[in-house]
Chains A and B, each alone.
Chain A
């Protein structure tokens, strides 16, 4: 197992805006780190650079203390799980899993043992003689995982491995994956655009936006102390309410606002419904375990999440506890210290 260090990586395709503008972070030995961000933020490109499938324009990259920028992908001792699995269609499941070992000259009995072991861990034994075309999406995904596990690499790189599964299967596989890589004691870099995956599976999250790192931290850090308006609104469902200072003041929800050109944020689940000022209820969205209310509080139109369902009433009382308030610079969206 090994540590991954990414230092000041830059990359652009053609003449357009750079895809990555000087990205640096590190992944400790055995750590599970997610690269999270919306489509086009550069997260997959970054993963492919770590794998050696793309070249960075500049910057340094090391795996286990060794500079690998000029090392071909096969010699970086990594395994890559592709979004659409990229299985060899003309080979059986067994051959797909064993290919990497065969090419590395691993002795046949050892290959057989490790293939059987990976197949057992992923429940693939009955499928070993089939070809990918005869497998379901979930089965293919497990073959792709087995192919990476069997290599026992120092680093696992996963590119949105769950995005082609249906919602129920994705939910279940999420937990299985976390357990699988914990047992394999692997260093994992996991690319996803799904904040729930990133929050539930990772030790730390690297949040990317337009080729730049917005924030690096534990899921708890990102949720509790978002470093920017982007981080505040990308994580959390429903997203954080963000209102300009003038509207926030007019709404009367936030007492003692500091001076300056500010944006004021508060998470829907931290708004207190049932105390404070009167607000009109505009929309009610019951989700099941909680209900989302869209309110009109004179100037601000915050959304509030309330445990359990709520029935009737055109108005309610709402208050924002001072500890729940987040302040951001209106000019660059950066976080400001609370007063």
Chain B
């Protein structure tokens, strides 16, 4: 396709439109978080704050132990991602390469399980967590999230492993690598994009999850950010502290966005390094 000036302008316009559409809610939150309290819900709408007011941020951390929430979210996210990816890689590799008897049936079973709506699982999960003594713990959340994400991880990773050429692995065995070493030193480096994609999506799921976190955790010590934001309240039930909520959203979203972007760039670097010239 020939790239004309007109074509490129149209493309840029389209990209800008999509970006504006997707970013608008977040920008609105960001602007709201910087408004003085009186302007947050002012009628007529005030789009730009008269002064930049950071007091909402201070109030968020005063009203609720948000530092703890963020730390909890981080720990649960990293734990879930690590556990899901580790188990997912092993299971997907086994399904893809070991020719397990009944492997196909098991895969379809796993897919079927993942189709259960989350709400159906809430009550049994709570009962299980209570019996296991995992109520109000981050471990309980990590286990629940891992269970929910594993089917997805296994399917994505298996699809990717299926496309990797087998004879590279066979060459590795002949060179003297064991199955585990082959997985670790050959298959995983070649699957970096799939593993990273899976990890990012699992982390985002865990970071944003509300329903299970709300059900299994009722104490601040293990509470995660989404629940924490929902618990922000005003002086009366009729008052919604929009400024604080917006501030909390910004504080908890930016680190994730930064992390994902950084991660993504490293993946792209990893893929292209040496492909052109080493």
Contacts and interface: CB of A to CB of B under 8 A. Distances in A.
B53 interface: no
Given A90-B189, A134-B276, A53 B170 contact: yes
A129 B275 CA distance: 11
Contact of A103 (B167, B170, B175): B175
B118 interface: no
Contacts of A131: 274-275, 278
Interface string B163-183: 001011011111111000000
The secondary structure that dominates the A interface is loop
B277 interface: yes
A103 B186 CA distance: 13
A86 B172 CA distance: 9
B171 A103 contact: no
Contacts of B167: 82-84, 86
21 contacts: A53-B173, A73-B174, A74-B174, A74-B175, A74-B176, A74-B177, A78-B174, A80-B171, A82-B171, A86-B168, A86-B170, A86-B171, A88-B172, A89-B168, A89-B190, A90-B190, A100-B174, A103-B176, A129-B278, A134-B274, A134-B278
A133 interface: yes
A72 B174 CA distance: 9
Interface string A69-96: 0001110001110111011111010000
Of A51, A82, A92, A147, the most chain B CB neighbours within 10 A belong to A82
A68 interface: no
Interface residues of A, number: 27
A130 interface: yes
A172 interface: no
A103 B190 CA distance: 19
A201 interface: no
Contacts of B276: 134
B186 A130 contact: no
A103 B177 contact: yes
A130 B277 contact: yes
A104 interface: yes
A99 interface: yes
B176 A104 contact: yes
Interface string A296-334: 000000000000000000000000000000000000000
Given A87-B171, A92-B278, 20 more contacts: A53-B174, A72-B173, A73-B170, A74-B175, A80-B171, A80-B174, A83-B167, A84-B167, A86-B165, A86-B171, A88-B168, A89-B168, A99-B172, A99-B175, A100-B175, A103-B176, A130-B277, A131-B274, A133-B274, A133-B275
Contact of A88 (B173, B176, B186): B186
Given A84-B165, A86-B165, A74 B173 contact: yes
The secondary structure that dominates the B interface is helix
A231 to B, nearest CB: 30
The 5 closest A-B pairs by CB, nearest first: A103-B176, A131-B274, A86-B167, A100-B175, A86-B171
Interface string A123-137: 000000111011000
Contacts of B278: 92, 129-131, 134
Nearest to A105: B176
A323 to B, nearest CB: 47
A53 B174 CA distance: 9
Interface in B221-278: 274-278
A131 B276 CA distance: 8
A51 to B, nearest CB: 7
Contacts of B275: 131, 133-134
Nearest to A90: B189
Nearest to B270: A90
A134 B275 CA distance: 6
Contacts of A100: 174-176
B173 A134 contact: no
A89 B278 CA distance: 12
Contacts of A78: 174
A87 B189 CA distance: 14
A2 B215 CA distance: 69
B274 A92 contact: yes
Contacts of A134: 274-278
Contacts of A51: 174
Contacts of B177: 74, 103
A78 B176 CA distance: 11
B274 to A, nearest CB: 4
Nearest to B189: A90
B146 to A, nearest CB: 28
B128 to A, nearest CB: 42
Contacts of A80: 170-171, 174
A83 B190 CA distance: 20
